[in-house]
Amino acid sequence: MDRSNIAKKHQQPAENILMDIATLAKQVPDLLDLSIGDPDLITDERIIDAAFTDVKNGHTKYTASGGSQEFIDTVVTFYQKQYGLAFDASQVRATVGALHGMYLTLQVLLDPEDEVIIHEPYFSPYKDQVIFAGGKPVFIPTYEEDGFQINIDVLKAAITDKTKAIIINSPNNPTGAVFSHETFKAIADLAIEHDFYILSDEVYEAFCFYDDFVPMATFAPDNTITFSSFSKAFAMTGWRIGYMVAPDYINDAAKLINESITYSAPSPSQQAGIYALHHAETLTPTVVTIFKERLEYLEKRITAIPFLSLLPVKGSIYAFINISKTGLTSVPFVEKVLKETNVLMIPGKAFGETTGDNYVRLAATQDINTLKEAFDRIEKMTF
């Protein structure tokens, strides 16, 4: 038996890029790590206290596999209050982060050869998850010239009779774009007309800096599966808690799969989520304002450096920096920056080959002093 092959079999191209960079980064002292979208902030202590009080009061067991009734009802109430959306409790499932919800949904939906449209540059797990579920990813590019918005004609041209779904992510990782309401509506209309699903990854819904966020389910309620999470807006990545909202027959199928995998999301984390959503109005703006300020600071610094450029960031926690004036593509650029400044970013190539390679993604997950230090070093570089 070739044991080395077991890992290789599952390794996707984005992981190869990231593993090479991670190996390099290990050799760098005093690393300024701006690579992973893991907020540096610690979860608000009111959330921690609420969850641990609940744990002491007995929340140490499995909940129902779709989440406790209280968790599900809290999500329903949140959408009603925040967005005027009337979800039914039968549609909601607590998940171990948004990625888990996406995994369940793709496993539920896809038959062999089903196509899933993904806009590029994309959050790399999407492609891998479509492949794990036996489907075929179909990429449509988005370009900086269009503000990384989806071109609806390009989308139309990618739809075939095998299209089962499209994955939408706005506010977007890695580009920082926020799709317009018109774009959401146009995608929704196409999904209804051609009978496919929209898998709407809304984990950055709170990080919509200048516009009101309108969930995709507003436009195509019967075709949309919504994924969201406590990871980013409440700085709770390690709690591994999120949720999906789907038509009930999809949620029923997800239940069957999930009961063989995680059974339920962690009960303490569900309790933390309940507290967080009840107090979202006061808790989220604190986190979002911190990231907005950091990204505005980065915008100023980056646009002042002749060999870099950046579109104004409309949402998310990332800056997708154009490096084409350096004459380098993204992997050698990241390696050079790492060696000369100890700053780590992610090569845009990891987010797709077509449109990513002239960019690097920076996660604004360090305080402004650290970002200042990083760009004081980077601006002295020569190419």
Contacts with ligand PLP by CB under 6 A lie at 37, 97-99, 123, 169, 173, 201, 203, 229, 231, 237, 242
> Helix 280-303 to helix 368-378 angle, to the nearest 10 degrees?
20
Closest to ligand PLP by CB, 37 vs 135, is 37
Residue nearest to ligand PLP (CB): 97
CA distance linking residue 160 with residue 113, whole number of Å: 12
Report the alpha-carbon distance of residue 343 to residue 373 in Å, rounded.
9
Taking the complex as a whole, how short is the minimal distance between the CB of residue 121 and ligand PLP, in angstroms? 11
Which residue's structure tokens are 């650290």?
370
CB of 327 to ligand PLP, least distance (A): 29
d(CA 343, CA 341): 5
At 313, list the tokens. Answer: 């960031």
Cβ proximity of 326 and 307 under 8 Å: yes
Contact 274, 76 (CB under 8 A): no
Query: What minimum distance in Å lies between the beta carbon of 363 and ligand PLP?
Result: 8
Nearest CB to ligand PLP, comparing residues 204 and 219: 204
Sign of the torsion angle spanned by Cα atoms 166, 172, 175, 178: positive
Q: Give me the least distance between CB of 358 and ligand PLP, in Å please.
A: 21
CB of 312 to ligand PLP, least distance (A): 20
169 vs 330, beta carbon nearer ligand PLP? 169
Give dist(CA 208, CA 50) in Å, integer: 27
Which of residues 173 and 270 has its CB atom nearest to ligand PLP in the complex?
173
What sections of 138-235 are H helices per DSSP? 152-158, 181-194
Residue number with CB closer to ligand PLP (97 or 121): 97
What's the min distance (Å) between Cβ of 172 and ligand PLP?
Answer: 7
Least distance in angstroms from the C-beta of 105 to ligand PLP:
13
Q: Which is nearer to ligand PLP, 66 or 242 (CB)?
A: 242
CA distances from 19 to 40, 116, 259, 330, 352 (A): 22, 26, 32, 15, 16
Exposure b/e, 174-195, CB count within 10 A at least 16 = b: bbbbbbbeebbebbbebbeeee
For ligand PLP, the closer CB: 135 or 174: 174
CB of 94 to ligand PLP, least distance (A): 11
Nearer to ligand PLP, 277 or 378 (CB): 277
- What's the gap between Cα 233 and its chain centre? 12
CA 6, chain centre distance (Å) = 28
DSSP label at 86?
-
CB-nearer residue toward ligand PLP: 125 or 307: 125
Confirm if 298 and 362 have CB atoms less than 8 A apart: yes
Provide, rounded to whole angstroms, the least separation between the CB of residue 304 and ligand PLP: 28
Q: In sequence order, what DSSP letters do the residues of 9-42 get, joined into one string? A: HH--HHHHHHHHHHHHHHT-TT-EE--S---SSP
